Amino acid sequence: MKTRSMLSIMFSARFAFCAVLLLTATLPFAGCRLPGKPGEGPEVPRPEQVTNFDTLYGSNCAGCHGANGQNGSAMNLANPTYQSLVDDATLRDVIANGEPGTLMPAFGTKQGGMLTEQQIDAIVAGLRARWNKGNVLAGQNAPAYKAAHAGDAAKGEQAYQTACAQCHEAAPQKPAQGGSIRDGSFLALVNEQTIRTTVIAGRPDLGMPDWRGLVKGRALSEDEITDVTAWLMAQKPATPGQPYPGAGQQGPARIPTPNPVKQ
């Protein structure tokens, strides 16, 4: 009995000694590269100090524009043609103030968003660095981003039938594989610029060609693009999305503010 307890003392002493030795042996390494050592800067920076493009894009843009700038529900940002078409000031403006008439919200702090001007600059710079492949439109006689003058809706239908109808729809209720773009609700959620940009830059991620590939053998002209845009926007009904169009004559009828849902 006595010997056993003596033995156990010795055992524990040796164990404790080993433990202490191990501990002291690890301590000198602590200064250099233990995995737990915090990295530079605060663990969680102030939200406005985040200027990393991946972080900003991943939390503000990826939802609609896709994880890699393509295959999203909204505009294909990783499209070199689009990148060449749009200038920095426009990108900055659209991010900060949104695109009126569309679902693109305003992200700038002045508009109640979360992004500072520096962060918007960082996003623009990042978009360019990642997806701008130089000016692919140089010498292509490309139309400008913004229309120089208002389009002629009357001429637009002709352009629609030559350039768009084969993939979208020749007549209402007869959509082709590309789906209808004459749907009232669709037209209510886009603006002229959406259509213009899509016609010029295309949606390579979805297989839609740019303005050079819409009609066989030639590129669409500036006037055709402006006219078809005007014509399409003119197709928007007065009360888009209403199942009973006659019901609300005073603009789009809205459902009144709902009651608080009580449980």
Partner 1 sequence: MDEHPVAGAAEDLSRRTFLMKVGIALNAAVALAIATPVVAYLLGPVIKRKEYLQWIALGSADDFAAGETKLVSFQNPFSNSWDGATAQVPAYVRRTGTGSGASDFTVFAINCAHLGCPVRWFKESQLFMCPCHGGVYYADGNRASGPPERGLFTYEVKLDNGKLLIDAGQIPTLSNRASADGPCSGGEWPQEPAEKALANIVKTIEPYKPNPYESPRG
Partner 2 sequence: MAWYKNIYDWLEHRLQLEGPIKHEIMHPVPRKTASWWYVFGSASFVLLMLQIVTGILLGLVYAPSAAHAWDSLQVLNHDLPLGWFLRAMHGWGSNFMVAVVLIHMAQVFLFGAHKYPRELTWVLGVFMLLMTLGMAFTGQVLRFDQDSYWGLGIGASIMGRVPFIGGPLVHLMLGGPMINGATLTRFFALHVFVIPGTLLAFTAMHVWMVLKLGINEWPTPGRIVRRETYIAEYTELAHKDGLPFVPGAVWKDLVFSAAILFAVAVCAAVFGPYGPTGTPDPTIIATVPKPDFFFLWLYTVLSFLPPELETPFLLIVPPIAVAILVALPFVAGVGEKSWWRRPVAVFSVMFIAICFGVFTHLGTYTPWSPIMNAWSGAPIPVELLHNRTPLERQGANVLQQKQCRNCHQLGGLGGQRGPALDTVATRLTEDQLIRQVLQGGGNMPAYGAALSPAETTALVAYLKTLRPHYQPPAVDASRGVVAMNTK
Binding mask 73-112 for partner 1 (x = CB under 8 A): --------------------------------x------x
Among 25, 46, 112, 173, binds partner 2 (CB under 8 A): 46
Smaller CB distance to partner 2: residue 70 or 140? 70
Distance of CA 220 to the CA centre of its chain: 27
Under the binding rule (CB under 8 A), the answer on residue 175 touching partner 1 is no
How many CB atoms neighbour CB 137 within 10 A?
17
Q: Binding to partner 1 (CB under 8 A): which residues in 105-144? A: 105, 112
Alpha carbon separation from 18 to 21, 22, 23, 153 (Å, rounded) = 5, 6, 9, 88
Binding partner of residue 112 among partner 1, partner 2, none, CB under 5 to 8 Å per kind?
Answer: partner 1
Helix (H, G, I), strand (E, B) or coil at 214: coil
Helix (H, G, I), strand (E, B) or coil at 108: strand
Task: Map tokens 């042996």 to a residue.
Answer: 25
Q: In this structure, what token pair is assigned to residue 30?
A: 């602590």
DSSP assignment string, 153-190: HHHHHHHHHHHTTTTSBSSTT-B-TT--S--HHHHHT-
Binding mask 191-230 for partner 1 (x = CB under 8 A): ----------------------------------------
CA separation for the pair 83, 77 (Å, rounded): 7
Binding mask 222-241 for partner 2 (x = CB under 8 A): -----------------xxx
Q: Binding to partner 2 (CB under 8 A): which residues in 63-122? A: 63-64, 66-67, 71-74, 103, 105, 114
Under the binding rule (CB under 8 A), the answer on residue 183 touching partner 2 is yes
Under the binding rule (CB under 8 A), the answer on residue 256 touching partner 1 is no
Under the binding rule (CB under 8 A), the answer on residue 262 touching partner 1 is yes
Smaller CB distance to partner 1: residue 24 or 263? 263
Question: What kind and span of H or E run contains 102?
Answer: none
Under the binding rule (CB under 8 A), the answer on residue 246 touching partner 2 is no
Q: Is the dihedral of CA 160, 161, 165, 171 positive or negative?
A: positive
Binding partner of residue 135 among partner 1, partner 2, none, CB under 5 to 8 Å per kind?
Answer: none
CA separation for the pair 226, 233 (Å, rounded): 11
Q: What are the residues binding partner 1 (CB under 8 A)?
A: 105, 112, 257-263
